Each structure stands twice: as C-alpha cells, then as structure tokens.
C-alpha cells in the first residue's frame, strides 16, 4: 500500500473514536480511523439498551457506524494494529499493520455463504463467548464493514468456504501487510476493558458457574443476543433471583484500583429494570456502598428503579461461594444493621469496573490509574502529554456514552485547531474548501 | 430521471431489535402491503438503520428500479436522515423517501395488544405508501452562512467555546451580561481535582480569548431579540455603559459612599456601587452597578458628578449561537436547615468566600467565635423528595443530583483540615458521589483526616435547630445515621455548611427568544440526551456548560469545545442547507386574497406581489423560503387551496387519511 497523508488519525472505532472522526470529517478534514477489530462499534454495539433513555443500543450505534463508513472524508482501516508512531514535523508517521482477513474485502459482499458452509464452530467474543459462530464469518449482523473474516486459530483450511464463495473473495495466501499514514494529529480512542476479577479470590476468581460479568448480562438482554432470553450459564435455567455486586473491582485497594468506574451504578440499575421486564417474577437485589447516579436524568432513573421494586441494599459483599446446585451464596456486611448475612441467589452479576484497553504502541504518559494522562484537566481535558496527540472517551478514564460523545467532539475541536495552527500539509486544499 | 416514472415503491419494516417486532407482526404486515398498487417489494429486517439494512434499500433502488421508499421504523427524528442518506447514495432524490414511526407511535404504546398494534402498523404503513405514490423530488434550500458565531455567557464554558470557535478560523462575538468575565469560577479559590488556582486558570483563558484576532467581546451586554435561522441569525444586543473610565475611575471610586451587599462574596461583605469584583478581574476598569446605584451625584473635589447608564443598542449577524449562561447555586428558602434564621448556617459557596477572606490562624472564625465543630450537609436543594421538600415555583422539587457538590464538599473538608487541623468535621450525606478522575482521592483523604461521615436517608433529612441556652455550642444537628444502624445522633456544632446544588439561571426570556426547551429539571434541553448532547432542537443553537445541567469545570470545558466543533461543522463551509418543507404557491390557483399573508406569523415569509398578467395588474402570494418554517397556517386559510407545504401537500394528506381508514383485503387475515 502507498504512503498516505491525513489530517488526523483516530485510533479506536468505538463510539468516542467514531464521533471524533465524524466531527473532523464534517469540517472537511481527511481522517483515518484505525480499529484493531474486524468491525467498528466498540463496546457500545454489544450493549442491550442504553441508560437513561433505554434506547435500543444497536438502533443508535449502527447509524453512527454507517455514517462513518459512508463519510467521504473518513477512511476506515479495520483489523489493523498500530506498530509505531514517529514525530514528523508537527505531525506523525504512523506505521500500521493490516492483519490478514483471508478475505479480499474489495470482492466480499457480506453474503455470508462462507459462514453457512464452514463446519467449525467457535465461541463468539461478540457474545462474550456465550454464543458461537463460525471460523469464517461476518463478525456480527450489523458489523461495519460487512465483510467476512477468517480466524486462522480455528480454521482447518478445508477450503469449503473458498468453493462456496460466489465472488472468489477467499484468499488463503494473504499475509500481514505494513503501511504508513502520515497524519498531522492523532486522537486516542482506545477504550476500555472490564476490571479483571481473576485475582479477586473472595468473589470466586471468575470460576463460579453462575457468577457473570455485566457485559454477559448485556448480551443476555440484547434482542440480538445468543439466546434471546436470560438464563444461568451454569445449567440454562431461568433465574428467579439475581444479585448485583457493586464496586466489584473498583474502589478496591486490594486490587490496586482505587477509582470509581462511574458507569457501574447506572448499568446495574438499567439491567435491573430490563430484567424486571424480561423476568417479571424475578427478585433483583443490588448491593452497594454508594449509588452514584450523578448524570443528567440519572437520579430520576434510580428513583424509578426503586419504585419498580428493585431492592437496593447497602452492604459490602465480603465473599461469594456456591452451593451443591451451583447457586451463588453471598456473604454481606449489611451497612444499615451491622449484621453479616448470607443470601443465596440463582444468578450473580459482578458490577465490574473499567480499566484501560491495551494500548497501541503510542508511547504516552499514563496517569497513576493507568489511563492516558491528561496533564491539565481543568484547562484542556483532551490534551495528552505529547503535543498533537489528543485523547477521548474511556481511554481517558471511565465515562459513559454521553460523556464519551462530548469528549469526542471536544477532542475533534482540539485536533482541528492543532492542525490549523501547525500548518497542515494539506493547507492548499483546505483553503479552497473554506473559501 | 427515475423519479418521473411510474412509482415503484420499496417498503421496509424494521424489527428495531425487538422493539417493534415485540408487538407488531412485521412479516405479516409486509405480506399484506405487498398487494398494494405500485408496491414493488416489501422487506423486513432486524435493524434497517444498520449498514446492512441500508444496503438493502440501495440495492433495491439500483437493481429493481425502486423510485419511492417507505421505511417503518423508530421515530423520524432518529433516522429519517439516515434513510434519506441511503436513498441519496443510490442516486435517488432524498425526498422521495417517507418515514413511518412504528415504534413511538405504535409498538411502544400498544405493546399490551399485539393484534391492535399490528393492525395499526398496517394502517400507518399503508398511509405511508399512499403518500409515497405522490412524492415529488425536492431540493433543499441552500443559503450562505455567516462565518461568525455568537457566544452568550462569559463564564469558563463561554470563554472556552469562544476560544475554540476562533481557533477553527471563524469569527466569534462573546456577550457577557455582567461587566466582568469569568462567571462562577472566579468565585472559587483552588479547584478540584488539580488544586490549581481558579482565577489563575481563568486569567490564562481570558488572555488567550482576548488576544485572539477573531474574537470580539461585549461586557455588560444582553440579547434583546433574535430572528432568523441557522447560518443567518440577527441578534439585537443592548450594552450598558460602564459608567466610568480608566481616567476617572479611581477618583469616582473613592468618592463613592453607597455600599451594597457584595454578590461576589454571596452577601458576606459589602462593596461600593462602583466596583471591581476582585483584584485582577477582566476588564480591570471598574463598572457601575446600575441595578443598585441610587442615582445621587458623587462629590469629586467639590464637583458633583452624576453617572448615567446610556445603553447602546446594535445588531449582530451570526450563523450560530452558543448558549453558555451557566448556573446559580441553590438558595435555600428561609428556614431550610435553619438557613436565614440561624447566623451559624451558611452555604458551601459562602464558606469558600469566607475562607478566602479569612486570615490563616489557629482556628476558623465565624461570627466572632472560634469554630470547633462543623457539620456539612450534602444534597441541599438536590435529590429532593416530593412531600418532604418545598417545591420550586413550578411546583416541582429538584429531584436531580447536582454532581459537583460531593467532590466540592470533600475538597472543602480537605482545605479546612489543612488550615485548621483541630477542627472536627461531620459530613452528613446520602451517598458520596466522587465519581470523576481524581475525585475518589478526596474521599480517601477525608477518611484519613478524621472527617466523621454520617449517612441519612433522603426521606429523613437532618434537623438543624438552635441549641438550648447554656449549651457549649450554638447549634444542634440531629440525624438518623444509617452508618450506625439508624441511631439518632445529636451533634452540637458551631457552624453548619449546606452543600447547595445547581439551579439554572433566570434567563429573562432568552430561552424563549432562541426557542430552546427546558427539561423537567428546568435546565436547557439538548436534542438527544445520548447522541447529540450539545445540540438543541433548533439548528444552529448549541449549548455549552452548566446552563444545560450541573457540571464541573472539566465537563464545562469539554462541552464548550464540543459546541465549538458543532459550530465549525455548521459554518465552516460558509453555506447551510435547510429542509425544503416550506410553503409553495400555485400561481394558477392564487387570486391574491391575501388571507395567507394575514395568517402568517413569521416575518417576511409570505407577501403579496403585483404581477402583470396579460396586460392586467394582479396580486399573487410569494413565499420567501428562508423565512418560512412550513407551519401550514397559510394552507389552512387559502380559499382556493393554492398554497401547499412542499413534501406535505393536501393531496398527500388526503391520500394518507383515506388509506388509514381503509381495511385492506389482507388485513383481516393478518390481524385475525
Ligand atoms: C456492562 C456495561 C454496560 C454499559 N451500559 C451503558 C449504558 O447503558 N449507557 C451508557 O451511556 N454507557 C454504558 N456503558 C459505558 C459504555 O460502554 C462506554 O461509555 C463506551 O462504550 C465507551 O466508548 P469508547 O469509544 O470510549 O470505548 P470502546 O467502546 O471500548 O471502544 C474502543 C475501540 O477501540 C478499539 N481499540 C482498542 N485498542 C486499540 C488499538 N490498540 N488499536 C486500534 N483499535 C483499538 C477497540 O477495539 C474498540 O473498538 C456500559 C459499560 C459496561 C461495561
Ligand atoms: C460551591 C462550588 C464549588 C465548586 N468547585 C469546583 C471545583 O473545585 N472544581 C470544578 O471543576 N468545578 C467546581 N465547581 C463548578 C464550577 O463552578 C462550574 O463548573 C463552572 O463555573 C461552570 O461554568 P459555566 O461557564 O458553565 O457557568 P457560569 O460560571 O455560571 O458562567 C455563566 C456566565 O454567563 C453569564 N450570563 C448568564 N446569563 C446571561 C445572559 N442572559 N446574557 C449574557 N450573559 C449571561 C453569567 O454572568 C456568567 O458570567 C464548583 C461549583 C460550586 C457551586
Ligand atoms: S453530588 Fe453529592 S451532594 Fe451533590 S446532589 Fe449529588 S449526591 Fe448530593
């Protein structure tokens, strides 16, 4: 591939990265959006409904994805890894590795014939491994781009897909390719992962059958989810009682994660409300230290959940074990009474917090919390420690979708000002554009 | 042109990820619609708005020659634009598209009755098809746009918005109501989470703004009127006189004897009516407080000098407006937690000012006494409960969380502890909401500093009363503390601090002039709380900062920069496009009655003009599309049916009404 010039390069195609790219593209800048997964959409596309509006998540995410895909000024590079970032004047040379899809995306139409033919079933990370898909597949029904990708880890190279593909798009000979983009500015939108609980032995270290993470619950609740209903992963039974353990992996010195993850109170309340609809008979209890529903309309959302009958119990969950029937048993120190009680549930959701997703090879100063450092949050909330590189969304610390979108537009404003002030290499075209 | 051929209608019904298909039998509806005249294809999809869904439409247009498209999905507000985009990409005029709201108008409200929901869906869709048959291609109205924006409010959000708009190469005018810039932030000392000096940060920002060649600032100025639309707003501005100049200011200030409570210090001190709010303020020229100046002349070296406000009025032409009018701290009504009755009860903003005015010493002084014990009560004026708290004028309590006060409170306890280590601090809260990056640390430090935390329930708020005569402390705070299992605790204190929440400022009609709505919480309302958080329902009117809801400085800055990005996208090209849904006159039918002109309330939208028709002078109505909002008032009064709103013509309405009432042959089968 040729070397390319761009005004801005956005790393990460979640909601934050997409919004930054759209804001820059709308202003007429040329933007590269680089995503490591085969589709853009980030975490948001995997959610069920979003608080506080309870909009269906794919309904509000897919149009953004589509707008990015069709934008004349946005150039999408999916399934790519950043290899290095080198200063070049006021801008950067970014070296990027295109991972092989084993599918020629200029030919693939997304018809999925290959997928229907493939004999190998593999767990689907899109469904938090609750569901399965094929070794070659379009990653999920609303993926952008709608192009197949083959997973070499599982593929038996049986060649069935190649025979079946009507447009001869399968290409087993693809190799990783490296190319360089020259960009005047960079926006980091690399997002988050859940706080790992594998070291949290008190909570079963991820080994208890009916203790799940909140993204799994999102998939259970999503209309496009693997089962279309909520069930216990341990035995497929419908749960009659569900507990949420708040601050599981946040505000927890023993894990070294002392900050508040900001979104867990709200997603737990949201899931509780959705569960109330999906399983009207189920009892839902949320164990918490503080309920932090601080956003616009969020306190009212919390009060609505209380009125719906969701149990909010102030208590610290000391430990979780399971009984012979794999029912999780919580040991709770009740704040309001001082008692220590044990309570058995059918299903437990650990309201895990947010940690930074693994970073690409962009060396940037990090904060003590591990997120990309923002040296002057009270004067420049999107500016990192490296000139020309900006940060948005959960790459800059826990935040919800609306805060991510605001920060994404703010990062776009910073980046565009930087591009103008530091003499864009595309100045000639830009002048024409703004004339 | 495919659009002029016989209609070939493509009909698409979205499941909306279960939102619609949960109540409506989408497949049956699609099947029933297939039989309608001109319907070439019907399809259903899990998610029509996804890229795959949109491609279905594009492909059908290209491969099946579809030339009218109807999608039944969520509200048009969400996705009408999305589908117009898809239609355009396939080479069709975007206005040959019709959107039917099957979610908000049907499945969400009739979810309990699937048969009825399906029947309604079918009728709505069939009306959509009837309209689609009559759709004609339209062109958006293209207008030049001023590459100039107005920012209203010179607090941290307005300043930042102005700077960022200027940095995008656009001109910007900032209007601040008070004679000085900085807003509420100027009243703070150090700020969380960086512990920087608020006024130093502001000073930096103001310097950048005032130094930028694209920025013009008017202080002591207000918006008096707004007309126009995105790209071309006309703003009437009134600017008050400053009253003094650098030459005479010092002499007048020393001659001035009239004093009023100083709002900068929330009434804790007094200041003259010629004033600077604080040292280092911008502008450094003092100003006259016209609201309070009693009009008496000043005696300067024996000369009586009378000052007069001679306001100037002028107009600005701007393409977009950013509203950054900020917040007021909640003022408790007389008696809430003893406020206004007990001199030992203050608000947190007042305490910040008091500390700024206090000298360091062994102990904090209040009212001439050393403070040994202080109680800080959270959520005053926030998270209020119906029936427990006194409602505001509109009958509603403030049921929202003000989000800043928890961290601001613990930031205060840290400061108090540092300055007066002997002080006992009691913190009465419901939940501690130190959510932001670097906020939880304040909570941890407060615990380490020995701040005593007590937790009350929202329905059982603490009581503040004067202590009985002879007690060691003047005030008694009673609280049912949930951290000690509901024990009733009495705390004798010398000072009570109320962590008051945020209230939107009184905008004196500005919101109405700009046609911005307010939410239930009375803050200015964004158009979509999730996806379009800084835009309003009025194109070209954008929100920044705490006028929209409680925000800290960092959040206000981000919102302001985001607003600047939106302004740059709107105005950067110097052109805007407006939808073509405006009135159009059929000159053949018009005979110049003028009823339409009388019915229209929008200035310059419709007028009678004289034409020469076969040598005869006739009057005909003429529309100026840029000023027409497409409300249809003229359509309703025209005796000759000569006016129509484009895209929503009378003929289209009639066809829709007819279709909606008609039982389709397949309907009985579908909904049986
Ligand atoms: C269980 C749960 C429920 C939630 N529910 C809600 C809700 O209802 N409402 C709400 O407002 N918020 C909710 N949130 C929060 C919401 O998910 C986040 O605010 C939002 O997804 C953050 O978007 P982002 O773009 O910052 O990050 P992400 O969505 O994580 O996107 C980051 C993107 O960057 C890519 N990337 C990462 N590293 C690299 C790299 N090195 N190179 C290239 N690409 C890379 C990733 O693959 C990903 O696509 C919820 C969170 C959780 C955990
Ligand atoms: C007690 C307290 C402590 C705080 N401490 C911190 C802290 O430590 N850290 C932190 O990050 N945040 C803190 N905050 C929050 C911070 O004060 C706000 O985030 C910030 O001031 C919001 O700025 P703004 O520009 O939105 O509004 P404002 O500061 O209110 O500015 C609005 C401006 O608009 C002007 N205006 C209003 N109406 C009109 C009109 N009609 N026409 C023209 N001009 C108009 C006003 O005069 C004002 O100058 C604190 C808040 C409180 C109450
Ligand atoms: S931030 Fe804290 S004090 Fe303020 S309203 Fe919310 S919970 Fe109450």
Q: Is B431 on the interface with A (CB under 8 A)?
A: yes
Q: How many CB pairs under 8 A join A and B?
A: 235
Atom of ligand 1 nearest to the CA of A43: 29
Residue B668 has a pLDDT of: 63
Question: Ligand 2 centre from B327 Cα, in Å?
Answer: 6
Strand partners, A241: A283
Q: Which residue spans within B444-563 are E strands per DSSP?
A: 452-455, 463-466, 475-481, 487-493, 495-500, 502-504, 541-543
Cis peptide before B416 (omega within 30 of 0): no
Cis peptide before A52 (omega within 30 of 0): yes
Q: How far apart are CA B253 and CA B132, in angstroms?
A: 72
Q: Is B172 on the interface with A (CB under 8 A)?
A: no
Asked whether B447 and B483 are in contact (CB, 8 A), the reply is no
Q: Would you say the CB of residue B153 lies under 6 angstroms from ligand 2?
A: yes
User: Which of A130, A172, A143 is CA-nearest to residue A155?
Assistant: A172
Q: How far apart are CA B575 and CA B478, in angstroms?
A: 63
Q: How far apart are CA A392 and CA A383, in angstroms?
A: 9
Measured between beta carbons, which residues in chain A are less than 8 angstroms from residue B455?
335
Write out the two tokens for A343: 């309570």
Residue B666 has a pLDDT of: 65
Residue nearest to atom 4 of ligand 3 (CA): B405
B569/A23 Cβ within 8 A: yes
Asked whether A98 and A176 are in contact (CB, 8 A), the reply is yes
Residue B188 has a pLDDT of: 98
Give residue-wise pLDDT tens across range A32-44. Answer: 999 999 999 999 9
Q: How many CB atoms lie within 10 A of CB B112?
A: 8
Asked whether B645 and B623 are in contact (CB, 8 A), the reply is no
Give residue-wise pLDDT tens across range B327-344. Answer: 999 999 999 999 999 999
Measured between beta carbons, which residues in chain B are less than 8 angstroms from residue A65?
50-51
Asked whether A8 and A25 are in contact (CB, 8 A), the reply is no
Give residue-wise pLDDT tens across range B241-278. Answer: 999 999 999 999 999 999 999 999 999 999 999 999 99
Measured between beta carbons, which residues in chain A are less than 8 angstroms from residue B157?
none
CATH number for domain A195-354, candidates 1.10.486.10, 3.10.25.10, 3.50.50.60, 3.90.79.10: 3.50.50.60
Residue B161 has a pLDDT of: 98
B561/A414 Cβ within 8 A: yes
Give residue-wise pLDDT tens across range B295-310. Answer: 999 998 888 999 999 9
User: Which of A124, A111, A91 is CA-nearest to residue A166?
Assistant: A111
Q: Which 3 state secondary structure label does DSSP give B58?
A: helix
Is the per-residue pLDDT at B419 higher than 90?
yes
Asked whether B86 and B115 are in contact (CB, 8 A), the reply is no
Write out the two tokens for B64: 């099946």
Q: Which residue spans within A20-150 are E strands per DSSP?
A: 31-34, 49-50, 55-56, 74-77, 80-88, 91-98, 121-123, 132-134, 136-137, 149-150
Q: Which 3 state secondary structure label does DSSP give A194?
A: strand
Query: Nearest ligand, CA of residue B400?
Result: 3
Q: By mean pLDDT, which of A335-339, A384-388, B278-282 is the weakest? A: A335-339
Question: Ligand 2 centre from B365 Cα, in Å?
Answer: 28
Give residue-wise pLDDT tens across range A128-166. Answer: 999 999 999 999 988 999 999 999 999 999 999 999 999
Q: What confidence tier does A2 reach under pLDDT thresholds 50, 70, 90?
A: low
B444/A396 Cβ within 8 A: no
B193/A337 Cβ within 8 A: no
Measured between beta carbons, which residues in chain A are less than 8 angstroms from residue B46?
141-142, 223-224
B-proximal residues of A, 42-61, CB under 8 Å: 50, 52-53, 55-60
Q: Which 3 state secondary structure label does DSSP give B369?
A: strand
Of A56, A299, A416, the CB nearest to B401: A299
Q: Of B195, B205, B326, B439, which is best to mutate to test ligand 2, by the most ligand atoms within 8 angstroms of its C-beta?
A: B326
Gyration radius of chain A's alpha carbons: 23
Question: Ligand 1 centre from A43 Cα, in Å?
Answer: 4
Give residue-wise pLDDT tens across range A297-334. Answer: 999 999 999 999 999 999 999 999 999 999 999 999 99
Topology, domain B9-140 = Rossmann fold (3.40.50)
Is the per-residue pLDDT at A424 higher than 80?
no
What backbone phi and psi angles, to 5 degrees, belong to A404?
-65, -40
Owner of token pair 């980030």: A42
Q: Which CATH number is associated with domain A1-98+176-191+357-435?
A: 3.50.50.60
Q: Is A341 on the interface with B (CB under 8 A)?
A: no
Instruction: Give me the architecture of the B330-503 domain, per CATH.
Output: 3-Layer(bba) Sandwich (3.50)
Q: How far apart are CA B405 and CA B501, in angstroms?
A: 6
β-pair type (B9-14, B39-45): parallel
Share of chain B above pLDDT 90, in %: 85
Query: Per CATH, is B148-240+312-326+512-575 categorized as 3.10.129.10?
Result: no
Of B85, B403, B529, the CB nearest to A294: B403
Query: Helix A57-70 vs helix B76-89: angle between axes, to the nearest 10 degrees?
Result: 30
A292/B561 Cβ within 8 A: no
Q: Which residue spans within B206-331 are E strands per DSSP?
A: 215-219, 221-229, 232-239, 259-261, 270-272, 274-275, 287-288, 298-300, 303-305, 312-318, 320-323, 327-329
Residues 6+ apart with CB under 8 A from A76: A13, A33, A35, A40, A68, A69, A144, A145
Topology, domain B583-645 = Alpha-Beta Plaits (3.30.70)
B-proximal residues of A, 299-318, CB under 8 Å: 299-300, 303, 314
Give residue-wise pLDDT tens across range B505-539. Answer: 999 999 999 999 999 999 999 999 888 999 998 88
Asked whether A288 and A312 are in contact (CB, 8 A), the reply is yes
Asked whether B423 and B417 are in contact (CB, 8 A), the reply is yes
Give residue-wise pLDDT tens across range A174-212. Answer: 999 999 999 999 999 999 999 998 888 899 988 899 999
B483/A335 Cβ within 8 A: yes
Q: What confidence tier does B61 reach under pLDDT thresholds 50, 70, 90?
A: very high
Closest chain A residue by Cα to residue B159: A379
Burial of residue A94 (CB within 10 Å: 0-12, 13-18, 19+) is buried
B-proximal residues of A, 201-260, CB under 8 Å: 222-224, 251, 258-260
Q: Which residue spans within A164-310 are E strands per DSSP?
A: 177-188, 192-194, 211-212, 241-248, 283-288
B46/A224 Cβ within 8 A: yes
Q: How far apart are CA B153 and CA B324, in angstroms?
A: 5
β-pair type (B232-239, B221-229): antiparallel
Length of chain A: 435
Residue nearest to atom 17 of ligand 2 (CA): B185
Q: Is B553 on the interface with A (CB under 8 A)?
A: yes
Give residue-wise pLDDT tens across range B461-506. Answer: 999 999 998 999 999 999 999 888 888 999 999 999 999 999 999 9
Which comes out higher in pLDDT, residue A417 or B668?
A417
Alpha helices in A336-384 (DSSP H): none
Q: How far apart are CA B162 and CA B151, in angstroms?
A: 6
Host H or E run for residue B345 = strand B345-347
Owner of token pair 């009184």: B506
Q: Which 3 state secondary structure label does DSSP give A236?
A: coil
| Domain ranges within chain A, ordered by starting residue | 1-98+176-191+357-435, 100-175, 195-354
| Domain ranges within chain B, ordered by starting residue | 9-140, 148-240+312-326+512-575, 249-305, 330-503, 583-645
User: Which of A406, A201, A416, A194 is CA-nearest to residue A318?
Assistant: A201
Which of B435, B444, B458, B485 is the best substitution to test chain A (most A C-beta atoms within 10 A)?
A: B435
**Identical topology for domains B148-240+312-326+512-575 and B330-503:** yes
Q: How far apart are CA B646 and CA B628, in angstroms?
A: 11
Q: How far apart are CA B102 and CA B18, in angstroms?
A: 12
**Identical topology for domains A1-98+176-191+357-435 and A100-175:** no
A23/B565 Cβ within 8 A: yes
Closest chain B residue by Cα to residue A376: B194
Prediction pTM value: 0.91
Asked whether A61 and A15 are in contact (CB, 8 A), the reply is yes
Query: Per CATH, is A100-175 categorized as 3.30.70.20?
Result: yes
State the smallest CA–CA distance between residue A206 and chain B in angstroms: 26
């Amino acid at each position: 591939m040729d070397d390319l010039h761009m005004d801005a390069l956005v790393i990460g195609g979640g909601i934050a990265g997409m919004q930054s790219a759209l804001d820059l593209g709308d202003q007429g800048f040329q933007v590269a959006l680089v995503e490591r997964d085969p589709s853009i959409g980030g975490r948001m596309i995997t959610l069920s409904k979003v608080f506080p509006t309870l909009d269906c998540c794919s309904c509000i995410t897919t149009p953004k994805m589509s707008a990015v895909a069709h934008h004349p000024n946005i150039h999408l590079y999916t399934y790519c890894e950043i290899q290095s970032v080198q200063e070049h004047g006021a801008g950067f040379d970014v070296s990027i590795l295109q991972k092989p899809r084993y599918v020629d995306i200029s030919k693939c139409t997304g018809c999925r014939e290959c997928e229907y033919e493939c004999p190998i079933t593999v767990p689907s990370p899109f469904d938090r491994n609750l569901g399965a898909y094929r070794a070659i597949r379009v990653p999920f029904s609303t993926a952008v781009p709608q192009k197949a990708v083959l997973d070499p880890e599982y593929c038996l190279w049986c060649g069935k897909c190649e025979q079946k593909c009507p447009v001869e798009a399968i290409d087993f000979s693809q190799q990783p390719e490296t190319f360089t983009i020259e960009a005047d500015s960079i926006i980091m939108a690399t997002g988050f992962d859940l706080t790992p609980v594998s070291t949290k032995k008190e909570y079963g270290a991820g080994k208890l059958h009916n203790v799940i993470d909140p993204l799994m619950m999102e998939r259970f609740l999503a209309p496009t989810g693997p089962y279309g209903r909520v069930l216990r992963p341990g035995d497929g039974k419908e749960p009659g009682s569900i507990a949420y353990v708040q601050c599981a992996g946040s505000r927890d010195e023993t894990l070294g994660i002392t900050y508040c993850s900001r979104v867990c109170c709200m997603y737990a309340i949201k899931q509780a409300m959705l569960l109330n609809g999906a399983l009207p008979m189920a009892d839902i209890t949320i164990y918490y230290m503080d309920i932090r529903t601080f956003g616009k309309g969020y306190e009212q959302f919390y009060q609505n959940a209380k009125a719906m009958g969701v149990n909010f119990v102030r208590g610290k969950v000391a430990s979780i074990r399971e009984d012979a029937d794999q029912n999780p048993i919580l040991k709770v120190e009740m704040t309001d009474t001082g008692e220590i009680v044990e309570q058995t549930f059918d299903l437990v959701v650990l309201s895990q917090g947010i940690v930074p997703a693994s970073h690409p090879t962009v060396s940037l100063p990090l904060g003590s919390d591990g997120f990309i450092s923002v040296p002057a949050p009270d004067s420049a909330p999107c500016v990192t420690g490296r000139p020309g590189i900006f940060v948005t969304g959960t790459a800059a610390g826990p935040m919800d979708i609306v805060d991510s979108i605001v920060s994404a537009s703010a990062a776009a404003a910073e980046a565009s000002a930087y591009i103008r002030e530091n003499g864009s290499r595309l100045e000639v075209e830009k002048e024409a554009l703004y004339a | 042109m495919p659009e002029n051929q016989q209609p070939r209608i493509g009909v698409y019904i979205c499941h909306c990820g279960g939102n619609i298909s949960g109540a409506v039998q989408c497949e049956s509806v699609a099947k029933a619609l297939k039989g309608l005249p001109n319907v070439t294809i019907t399809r259903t999809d899990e998610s029509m708005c996804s890229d795959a869904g949109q491609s279905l439409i594009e492909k059908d247009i290209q491969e099946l020659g579809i030339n009218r498209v109807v999608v039944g999905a969520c509200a048009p507000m969400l996705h009408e634009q999305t589908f117009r985009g898809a239609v355009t990409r396939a080479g069709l005029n975007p206005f040959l598209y019709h959107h039917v709201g099957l979610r908000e108008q049907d499945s969400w409200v009739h979810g309990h009755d699937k048969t009825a929901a399906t029947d309604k869906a079918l009728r709505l869709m069939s009306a959509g098809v009837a309209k689609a048959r009559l759709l004609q291609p339209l062109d958006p109205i293209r207008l030049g746009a001023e590459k100039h924006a107005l920012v209203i409010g010179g607090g941290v959000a307005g300043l930042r918005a102005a700077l960022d708009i200027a940095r995008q190469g656009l001109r910007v005018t900032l209007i601040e109501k008070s004679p000085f810039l900085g807003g509420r932030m100027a009243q703070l000392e150090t700020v969380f989470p960086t512990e920087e000096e608020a006024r130093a940060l502001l000073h930096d920002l103001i310097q950048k703004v005032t130094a930028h060649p694209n920025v013009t600032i008017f202080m002591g100025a207000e918006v008096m009127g707004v007309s126009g639309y995105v790209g071309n707003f006309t703003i009437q501005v009134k600017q008050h006189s400053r009253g003094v100049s650098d030459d005479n200011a010092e002499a007048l200030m020393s001659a001035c004897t009239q004093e009023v409570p100083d709002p900068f210090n929330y009434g804790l001190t007094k200041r003259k009516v010629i004033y600077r709010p604080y040292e280092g303020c911008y502008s450094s020229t003092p100003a006259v407080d016209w609201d309070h100046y009693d009009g008496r002349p000043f005696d300067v070296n024996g000369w009586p000098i009378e000052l007069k406000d001679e306001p100037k009025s002028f107009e600005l032409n701007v393409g977009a407006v950013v509203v950054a009018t900020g917040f007021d701290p909640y003022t408790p009504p007389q008696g809430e937690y003893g406020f206004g009755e007990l001199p030992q009860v203050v608000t947190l903003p007042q305490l910040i000012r008091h500390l700024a005015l206090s000298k360091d010493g062994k102990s904090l002084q209040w009212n001439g006494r050393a403070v040994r014990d202080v109680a800080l009560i959270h959520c005053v004026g926030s998270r209020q409960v119906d029936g427990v708290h006194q409602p505001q004028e509109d009958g509603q309590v403030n049921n929202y969380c003000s989000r800043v006060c928890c961290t601001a409170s613990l930031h205060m306890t840290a400061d108090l502890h540092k300055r007066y280590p002997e002080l006992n601090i009691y913190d009465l809260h419901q939940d501690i909401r130190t959510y932001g990056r670097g906020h939880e640390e304040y909570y941890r430090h407060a615990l380490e500093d020995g701040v005593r935390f007590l937790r009350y329930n929202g329905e059982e708020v603490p009581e503040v009363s004067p202590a009985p005569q002879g007690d060691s402390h003047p005030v008694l705070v009673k609280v049912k503390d949930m951290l000690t299992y509901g024990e009733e605790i009495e705390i004798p204190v010398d000072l009570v601090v109320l962590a008051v929440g945020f209230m939107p400022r009184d905008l004196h009609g500005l919101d109405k002039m700009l046609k911005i709505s307010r939410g239930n919480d009375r803050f200015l309302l964004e158009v979509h709380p999730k996806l379009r958080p800084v835009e309003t329902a009025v194109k070209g009117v954008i929100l920044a900062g705490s006028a929209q809801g409680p925000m800290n400085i960092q959040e206000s800055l981000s919102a302001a920069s985001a607003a600047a990005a939106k302004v740059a996208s709107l105005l950067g090209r110097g052109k805007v496009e407006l939808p073509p849904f405006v009135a159009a006159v059929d000159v053949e039918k018009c005979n110049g009655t003028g009823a339409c002109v009388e019915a229209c309330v929008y200035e310059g939208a419709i007028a009678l003009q004289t034409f020469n028709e076969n040598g005869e002078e006739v009057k005909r109505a003429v529309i100026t599309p840029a000023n027409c909002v497409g409300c249809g008032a003229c359509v309703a009064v025209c005796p000759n049916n000569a006016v129509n709103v484009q895209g929503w013509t009378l003929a289209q309405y009639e066809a829709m009404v007819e279709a909606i009432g008609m039982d389709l042959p397949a309907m009985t089968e579908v909904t049986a």
